[in-house]
Structure 1
Amino acid sequence: MPISGHDSTPSPGMRANSLMLKLTVCVIGLACVVASPAGAQQGIDPVLFEQGQQLYQENCALCHQDSGGGDAPTFPALGGDDRLGDPVRIVRSIHQGGRRMPPFPNLAAEEISSLANYIRNAWANDFGAVSTEEVSAVMEGVEEGGPMVSVWDGVFTEAQAERGGAVYEGACGLCHGRRLNGAPDDPDMRSTPPLARARFLRVWDGRSLATLFAYTRATMPEDNPSSLTEQEYVDVIAHMLSVGGMSAGDDELQPDPQSLARLVIGPQP
């Protein structure tokens, strides 16, 4: 019933304003859903999800790409990989490595949790959260291999570097140059990434020799990847370090991902 004799029926202008308000609320709500990180929609702390994304960029994107699309068949795609549904599998893969994947023993349980959560829920993946406690349980009982060591601490021998130099000359020098600076001897050939000194260190800073070993073995020589023996690959790495000004020591590098994972590339201390 009208109050005080006035008609309570909304005017056309009022109805239009009400409709506009509802549309605005819907648009804002939709924008919030679209803008929120994928992990937040899976019950994952956005801060930890962003931390996982940063760890992915630092440790994984080199091979699996920013998009998670990989580079088949050498580096598998992570987007849409149903195997990521097994949290134990991904935690072990990160911590201990796999057939082609280097281990990352330097990552703490919380970091592995963040990284696993990002990989399991980015690129339209929807595999849910992995807690730090779950990661710790998987890592429990895994034998640790000792402290992290800088590549400047004499991690190869002179003899090994010399062997690696001979292999490099035959398998790598044509493209990467005799001085390992990425300038091929043939001026008609395209330049390639440098394999020693400052530019090399900037690209590989913070990564382990296990990652360098796995990447080099999987992709080089470009026309025939994985064609050298594991010992030859690690000898070439010794040559690269030697040319980069790092001093030799008493022990050779071993083609063992677990030991190589504890040797970290970085600027001279």
Structure 2
Amino acid sequence: MTHAGPAVTGALACALAFAVASPAARAQDSAALLAEGQALYETNCAICHQSTGAGRPPTFPDLRGNDNLSDPYLVVSKISQGLGNMPPFPTLSAADITAIATYVGTAWGNSYGGPTEEEVAAILAEFPPAEASRSIWDGVFTAAQAERGAQVYRAPCGLCHGTRLNGAPDDNDMVPGPALARQGFLRAWDGRSLGMLYTYTMSTMPQSNPGFLPPEDYAAIIAHMLAVSGASPGSEELPADPWELGHIRIGPEP
């Protein structure tokens, strides 16, 4: 019994110390989560919704004061599975989606907060598991598909992005668009997926009539972009499927 008092005192001291430290620790964890969420948002979301969250309505909704962000199931399912102009991000983990959802739910004056990682994991468990991710350097398109994409590319894309995909029009007065191949393109899209590129392209290109081409033509144009960037063809065509394309990463050659 003579040792019980000091033991209890020590336990209480530890508990009190934890209670005093935990608010600061929680604040530090929260700041780290928001920083991670912002970094992931800039890589995966800002190209459509902008860094300000303003989006480009109606194609890409404004996230500022958007009440849809109060529904954790809607937020998580749309990030993971995609919907409409929203590409799927099947390779993002529960921790990644938690960070993005928390950042979006608290940035730009929003007060929706975000789900816990456990809640996100429970929602993700309802959907098919993600496949192993691949790279654009893994032979993800065929030579014939890339050649077909080169033919399709000329009229709707070449005027603004150049016949050599360098973003410089050859002989016209059109405003040049960004480069669609080689190192500049690979750097701009580094870390993103072909699913994101495919959905974004269909939703916005060509500017005069977005989405007018058949889905297979958009996939063929992307195959052409990859071929011009130096990626080698394989035995299977690039699918016109955002979910499957979401598993293929863009980046410089390893």
Q: Same fold (TM over 0.5)?
A: yes
Match of 1:116 in 2: 101
Check if 1:182 corresponds to 2:200. Answer: no
Q: Map Cα deviations across residues 181-213 of structure 1 (whole Å, 9 max, x no partner).
A: 011012533322000000000100010000000
Which SS does the other structure have where 1:113 is aligned? helix
C-alpha contact 2:159 2:172 (8 A) present in aligned 1 = no
Q: 2:208 matched to 1:223? A: yes
Larger Rg: 1
TM-score (norm 2): 0.87
Matched length: 228
Deviation at residue 223 of structure 1 after TM alignment: 1.4
Contact conserved, 2:141 with 2:237, CA < 8 A, in 1?
Answer: yes
- CA deviation vs aligned residue, 1:128-184 (integer Å, no higher than 9, x gap): 231000001001142124111000110000111111111101211111111100110
Tell me, yes or no, if structure 1 residue 96 matches structure 2 residue 81.
Answer: yes
Per-residue deviation, 1:108? 1.1
Task: Name structure 2 gaps, 5 residues minimum.
Answer: 1-26
How far, CA to CA, are the matches of 2:158 and 2:117 in structure 1? 45
1:130 to 98, 115, 120: 115
- 2:62 corresponds, among 77, 80, 83, to 77
Using the alignment, how far apart are the partners of 2:41 and 2:130 within structure 1? Answer: 23
Deviation sequence 1:24-49 (CA, Å, 0-9, x none):
xxxxxxxxxxxxxxxx6xx9812101
d(CA) in 2 for partners of 1:170 and 1:139? 41
2-structure distance, mates of 1:116, 1:205: 22
Report if the CA contact (8 A) 1:145-1:259 is conserved: no
Q: Which residue of 1 aligns with 2:178?
A: 193
Percent identical residues: 52
Summarize the alignment of residues 222-241 of structure 1 with structure 2, pairs less than 5 Å apart.
Answer: 222-241=207-226
Q: Does the residue aligned with 2:109 lie in a helix, a strand or coil?
A: coil
Alpha-carbon spacing, 1:129–1:222, altered in 2? closer, same or farther (3 Å): closer
Instruction: Give the TM-score, by structure 1 length.
Output: 0.82
Residue 93 of structure 1: how far off its partner (Å): 0.8
CA deviations on 1:63-115 (whole Å, 9 max, x unpaired) are 00011000011111111111111001101111111111111122111111011
Larger mean CA deviation between 179-188 and 116-125 belongs to: 179-188
- Report if aligned partners of 2:159, 2:174 keep a CA contact under 8 Å in 1: no
The equivalent of 2:244 in structure 1 is 259
SS at match of 1:137: helix
CA distance in 1, matches of 2:114, 2:210: 36
Structure 1 Cα separation of the partners of residues 103 and 204 of structure 2: 26
Q: Which segments of 5 or more consecutive residues in structure 1 lack a partner in the other structure?
A: 1-39
Correspondence for 2:124: 139
How is 1:3-18 mapped onto 2 (pairs within 5 angstroms)? none
What do you get for the CA RMSD once the two structures are aligned? 1.4
Specify which of 145, 154, 157 is matched with residue 169 of structure 1. Answer: 154
Structure 2: how far apart are the matches of 1:151 and 1:256?
A: 15
Match of 1:45, SS state, is helix
Contact 1:150/1:263 (8 A) holds in 2? yes
Q: Residues of 2 paired with 1:171 and 1:209: CA distance? A: 20
Amino acid at match of 1:258: W
Equivalent-residue separation in structure 2 for 1:238 and 1:208 (angstroms): 13
